[in-house]
Structure 1
Amino acid sequence: MTKPAPKPATALDYGRRIERVVAHIAAHLDEPLDLARLAGVACFSPYHFHRIYRALMGETAADTLRRLRLTRAAGELVRDGADVATVARRAGYGSVEAFTRVFRQAHGSPPAAYREHGRRGPSPQSRNETESPMPDVSIRDLDPVRVAAIAHRGPYMELGGVFSRLHAWAAGRNLLGPQTRAFGIGYDDPSAVPPEDLRSEACLSVGQEVQGDGEVFIRDIPGGRHAVLVHKGPYTELERSYRWLYREWLPTSGFTPADRPPVEQYLNDPRTLPPEEWLTEIRIPLA
C-alpha cells in the first residue's frame, strides 16, 4: 500500500503550484479569468482549485487578477498619460464610473486625480508638508531581520505582484503566521531613475532554518541605528514622506545616512483595510 506523502512535502508542492498560477495571472492580465485553465496550470482538479488558492493566498484568483490590473492601471495613468476610459477598458471595466469607484477604493483617489498628482509629483505646498507637521521621527536601534526575498526590476508599483508570488511561496512552506512581517527595499530614487530600471525587493521575515528556492533568496536586513517615520495612507503617497525626510528632516537632524538603502515595513494588511488606513514604517539607516 502506498504511503501518503509527508505533509510538509505536500504543502511545498501546493505552494509551487500556486506560484505558477500567480505568475500566469500576471503574464495574462488582458485575458479573461478562466478558472479551469488556472486549475490546469496548477495541476489541480477544477472542483478544488478555487478553495486551495483562497486558502493559501488569502484571496480568490479573481481578487488577485483585479488587484494586479488596478496596479498596472495606476502605472499607465502616471507613466503613459493614457486617458481614463482607455485604462478602464484595459483593466476590464465596462464603464469609467465602475472603474473610478474600484480604483478609488484601491488607491485612495479617483483615476484623474491620481494621474495629475503623479505627473506633478509631491507638491512643496502639500498639506502634510506645510500646514500640519509631519509625524515625529524616532531614532531606534533595530534588530537585523532574516527575510526571504524576490528581486524586481521595474516600476515600484509592480511590487504588489511580486509580493503575491512570494506569499504563495511562503504559504506552501507553512511559513506564514501572526509574526510574519513584510518589508520592501527600494534601491533607487524614482525621480532620478527611469521606472523600467528601478530595483527593489519584496521580503517576508523567516526563521534561520529557511532556505531559498528558485527566484526566492535568503538575506539579512541589517539592524543598527535608524531614523523611523510611520507613514499613514496609500502607498502612492509614500514619496511625499520620503521627500520631507530627505529635504527637511535629515539636513537639520545632525545625522548622516549609512551606505544602505531605506527599508519599508508594512504594518498592516492592505487587502483588508482602506488605503487611508495603511501604515508603512520608513526606516532610514544611520551611520
Structure 2
Amino acid sequence: MLEHLNRALEHIEEHLDRQIDVAELARIAVTSEYHFRRMFSALAGIPLSEYIRRRRLTVAGAEVLAGERTLLDVAVRYGYTSGEAFARAFRAVHGIGPGEARRTGAALCSQPRMSFRLVVEGISSMQYRVVEKDEFRIVGRKARVPLVHQGVNPAIAEFVKGLGQETVQRITALSDGEPGGILAVSDDLDPSRAEGTELDYWHGVVSSADVPEDLEALTVPAGTWAVFESSGPFPQALQFLWRDVFTQWFPSNPYRSRPGPEILRVRVLHEGRADAELWIPVERESDR
C-alpha cells in the first residue's frame, strides 16, 4: 500500500505545473478516491488539496526568486488565472507578495516533498475483527460541529452537556443492537478532513424501536465493518486509536475505508484508563 502511495506522490511532483486529477492519483495508489484522501490525510497530517497547494507554491516561489519568468507567467504555469489570485495564494503561504519577494530576495517558506514509510509504534493494545452487518439505525440527537483533530472538541462537549441526564437515559434505554450502549457517531464529514470543516455528530444508540418525537434517526446501510478494540490511558489511547488504524492497520491489510459513519463506544474504567471500540466502514481491496 505505501509503495503505491509513494508512486502517487511522484505523480504529484511530475504534474505540479499541470492539473492533478485525484481519481488518477487513486488509480496509481490502487485504491478508491475516498480511501486515498483518507489515507493521505491520516499519514500526512494535512489534506491532499492543501499539500498540493503548498508544493505548487513552494516550487513557484523558487521560480519567483530566480527571475527567469515574469510573475504572470509563473502564476499561469502553476494554475492561477490572474496575478492577483496568485499573489493572494503566495502571500498566504510565504507571508509576502511575489513582487516584493523578487525585489528583496526574501526568505520563503517551503513545503518539503513527502514520502511515506511504516513505523510501527503501537499503543498499549489494539485488537480488531471484521463484521458483516445488516442495515441498522442510530437513534438519538445530532448536531453539526466543526472537526477538531486533537484534544476535546468544545462544540461536541457543549452539545452533550446540553442534552441533560434525563434525555441521555431515555436514549440509552432504546439500545437493542450492536454496538451496544451510548455511541459517538461521526457522519457526513468533508472529504478533505481538514480541521474546522463540519460533520454531523450523533449521540445515540443502535435501536430498532419506534423513534420518539424529540429524537432523530440515521439509517445505516448494510455493509462490512472493521471493529477495533483499544485499552489504555484515558484519553491518550482514545485520541490515538483512529490515527493508528489509518497509519498502521490499513497499510498492512487488504481493506480500504468506504463512505459511512464512524462509530465510537467508550467505557471509562478506574485509575484513568478506558476501553474503546471503533467501528470503521470498510471494503476489501479487490486489486491487491
Please give the TM-score of this superposition, normalised by the length of structure 2. Answer: 0.43
Please give the TM-score of this superposition, normalised by the length of structure 1. Answer: 0.43
Higher Cα Rg, which structure? 2
